[in-house]
Amino acid sequence: MTIEHSNIDYSERIPNNVGLAGNRRLQRALESWQPDYIKWWQDLGPDRSTAFDVYLRTAISVERDGWANFGFVKMPDYRWGIFLAKPDLDRKILFGDHKGEPAWQDVPGEYRAPLRRLIVTQGDTEPASVEQQRYLGVTCPSLYDLRNLFQINVEEGRHLWAMVYLLHAYFGRDGREEAEMLLERHSGDADKPRILGAFNEPTPDWLSYYMFTYFTDRDGKYQLAALAESGFDPLARTCQFMLTEEAHHMFVGETGIMRVAQRTCEVMNEVQSEDLTAVRGGGAVDLDTIQKYINLHFSVSLDLFGQEISTNAATYFNSGLKGRYLESRLDDDHRLTNSLWPVHLIQDGRIVLEERPALSAVNDRLRDDYIVDSQRGVDRWNGMLDAHGVDFRFTLPHRFFNRHIGTSAGTNVTPEGTVISDAKWNAQRGDWLPTEEDQMFVGSLMNRVTEPGKIAAWIAPPVRGINGKPWDYAYVRFN
């Protein structure tokens, strides 16, 4: 392909660091997709937001300091573009049958179909999340939060661009068709839904949103990290850069949940009670309800890792298309020919932990890494509860709780990990997952606050603002 740079060329209609101007055909193809993308953004992106000036960061280079560029932008004018991490000309494939061979700069013919499928699945989640969050701006708790929502939305839009670039540049006509389809499927659409389950669920309120950015964006982190190991070098480099954008999304989730729980602690102190009615009466979300939202979003996100035992995943690994988390740091043969991995399975109605060929268990291994990482934020939230003298502790439910994909789909498992009957599940479901009443209560708190320095009563203000600005800075200007 053409010469590539770490600096991004913003003089182009499509900003890029892949030398797009040197490939007229590809440039024209992407320029003809661009208006469809803008139309999609206007139809299904953040509701009634096109005239707002938003304090956004835009990458100016893929170097470490390339993110330090902030300014007011109208979202439809955001410079969505194509940014790949710097190339490593000697890069070798680290795992699978092709271990040690030079990374591919083009798509190997025999892996065309699975590679396209991985890219399409990844690409499909990005616009899906923007669609899911479409109406949240209408009920933002503060300008700071509104700005973060919009920042994440534009970056998910850019992640879509990242995958569309790969489809256009490397997959010819069917790649172009897939790129169109990415704008035609819609979250929750009865006829043309998004590909993965979690991306068809609504994100109706800000508590759900923080949970989504904590738990579901974290699946994004792990999937992107696995794809960043790919032997297909353009995919690897695209994902490496996407990962730098992902960190902020998870930060918004983690601090968002922290701030909701902190406010709950403050209200419990004000009303001198931990009782649900008293806490809700004080205008905060009771801790039990926050736990139910954790249970829901964690379990839905665990489904995104696929089956515990997966031949798809084994094929992706063997073929060098999708690796493990931080593959280069793992101390083994990177081929997994004879190794085993402990996998939780349901057998005869019981949960067992059994060694299985590691190759077929790579999905579950990634899920293991994800669970460890998810626990870190939970520990930090609990540290805050402790500091407020509150005894309650948040927990992650058992990995088989409320699962719809994998070995435990269809088995009722409590958050503690006990298999129970349908009758018991139905009787206790409402203790573990948000009930309609819980959702209505959370929904009733969602009122729009857009005055600088003001914040909704159910959430504490952030510790600091964006880019050294105070948290009460006017991050969004309505026109």
What are the residues binding ligand BYC (CB under 6 A)? 118, 121-122, 125-126, 129, 156, 196-197, 216-217, 219-220, 223, 303-307, 310, 312-313, 322, 363, 405
Q: Is residue 263 a contact partner of residue 460, using CB atoms and an 8 Å limit?
A: yes
Using the minimum distance from each CB to ligand BYC, give the nearer residue, 315 or 382. 315
Q: What tokens were used for 325?
A: 């988390």
Minimum Å gap between C-beta 104 and ligand BYC is 18
User: In Å, how far from its chain's centre is CA 53?
Assistant: 25
Minimum Å gap between C-beta 218 and ligand BYC is 8
Minimum Å gap between C-beta 185 and ligand BYC is 13
Using the minimum distance from each CB to ligand BYC, give the nearer residue, 16 or 407. 407
CB-based closest residue to ligand BYC: 306
Please give the single-letter amino acid code of residue 133: Q
Minimum Å gap between C-beta 261 and ligand BYC is 22
Long-range contacts of 24-29 (CB under 8 A, 24+ apart): 26/168, 26/169, 29/168, 29/176
Q: What tokens were used for 433?
A: 């997952």
Using the minimum distance from each CB to ligand BYC, give the nearer residue, 252 or 260. 252
Residue 340 has phi, psi (to 5 degrees) of: -120, 160
Using the minimum distance from each CB to ligand BYC, give the nearer residue, 178 or 303. 303
Q: Is residue 17 a contact partner of residue 62, using CB atoms and an 8 Å limit?
A: yes
Separation between Cα atoms, residue 266 and residue 284, nearest integer Å:
9
Q: Is residue 179 a contact partner of residue 168, using CB atoms and an 8 Å limit?
A: yes
Q: Is residue 323 a contact partner of residue 95, using CB atoms and an 8 Å limit?
A: yes
SS3 272: coil
Residues 6+ apart with CB under 8 A from 461: 142, 144, 259, 455, 471, 472
Minimum Å gap between C-beta 303 and ligand BYC is 4
Using the minimum distance from each CB to ligand BYC, give the nearer residue, 129 or 319. 129
Minimum Å gap between C-beta 325 and ligand BYC is 13
Using the minimum distance from each CB to ligand BYC, give the nearer residue, 83 or 458. 83
Minimum Å gap between C-beta 121 and ligand BYC is 4
Separation between Cα atoms, residue 412 and residue 299, nearest integer Å:
13
Intra-chain end-to-end CA distance of the chain, in Å: 43
Residues 6+ apart with CB under 8 A from 260: 207, 210, 284, 285, 290, 458, 459, 460
Minimum Å gap between C-beta 125 and ligand BYC is 4
Separation between Cα atoms, residue 251 and residue 257, nearest integer Å:
10
Residues 6+ apart with CB under 8 A from 305: 219, 222, 363, 364, 366, 367, 370
Minimum Å gap between C-beta 404 and ligand BYC is 8
Using the minimum distance from each CB to ligand BYC, give the nearer residue, 250 or 442. 250
Using the minimum distance from each CB to ligand BYC, give the nearer residue, 313 or 460. 313
Using the minimum distance from each CB to ligand BYC, give the nearer residue, 286 or 308. 308
